[in-house]
């Protein structure tokens, strides 16, 4: 599913509640507790997206596991933070990898083959005599 489609708020509260398997009043409570933030139409009606429905399903899983709404809110916050940190880490790793590759390319330009090595006159004879 495209990112735009996942975030487009299209479901009215009754449809979202049915899809999530809860009562519409439960969705209003979740909103008041800060667990979900549906979009609003110019007239003030709530509209839920696929991403909102995924959050509602996650809330349902957590409450079935015995968490209260305060615990659910904390878990959702920590999961969002973890996702953000993983994204930042991936970005930092990519930046570091690019820097490493640039450095290695620079090394390759700086390397001189042994047969093209420049030697100072007096040292060249000592080098070649030491090879014998």
Q: Is 36 exposed, middle or buried (0-12, 13-18, 19+ CB in 10 A)?
A: buried
Asked if residue 122 and residue 62 are part of one domain, the reply reads no
Which of 37, 66, 95 is the endpoint of a domain? 66
Which of 43, 66, 89 is the endpoint of a domain? 66
In angstroms, rounded to a whole number, what is the distance separating the alpha carbons of residues 28 and 17? 10
What confidence tier does 111 reach under pLDDT thresholds 50, 70, 90?
low
Q: Is 58 exposed, middle or buried (0-12, 13-18, 19+ CB in 10 A)?
A: middle
Asked if residue 52 and residue 30 are part of one domain, the reply reads yes
Asked if residue 32 and residue 50 are part of one domain, the reply reads yes
Asked if residue 81 and residue 62 are part of one domain, the reply reads no
Asked if residue 22 and residue 52 are part of one domain, the reply reads yes
Determine phi and psi for 76, rounding to 5 degrees.
-60, -40
Asked if residue 75 and residue 62 are part of one domain, the reply reads no
CA dihedral 120, 126, 129, 130 (to 10 degrees): -120
What confidence tier does 9 reach under pLDDT thresholds 50, 70, 90?
confident
pLDDT over 70 at 20, yes or no: yes
Domain residue limits at 122: 70-132
Which of 66, 87, 102 is the endpoint of a domain? 66
In angstroms, rounded to a whole number, what is the distance separating the alpha carbons of residues 58 and 125? 77
The per-residue pLDDT for 105 is 79
DSSP-derived pairing of the beta strands 39-40 and 46-47: antiparallel
Asked if residue 56 and residue 83 are part of one domain, the reply reads no
């Amino acid at each position: 599913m495209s990112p735009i489609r996942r975030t487009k708020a299209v479901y009215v509260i009754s449809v979202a509640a049915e899809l999530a398997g809860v009562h519409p009043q439960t969705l209003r409570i979740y909103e008041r507790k800060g667990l979900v933030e549906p979009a609003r139409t110019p007239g003030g009606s709530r509209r839920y997206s696929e991403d909102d429905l995924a959050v509602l399903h996650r809330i349902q899983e957590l409450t079935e596991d015995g968490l209260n709404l305060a615990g659910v809110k904390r878990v959702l916050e920590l999961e969002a933070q973890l996702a953000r940190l993983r994204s930042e880490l991936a970005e930092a790793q990519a930046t570091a990898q690019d820097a490493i590759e640039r450095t290695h390319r620079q090394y390759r330009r700086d390397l001189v083959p042994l047969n093209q090595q420049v030697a100072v006159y007096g040292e060249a004879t000592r080098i070649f005599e030491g090879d014998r």
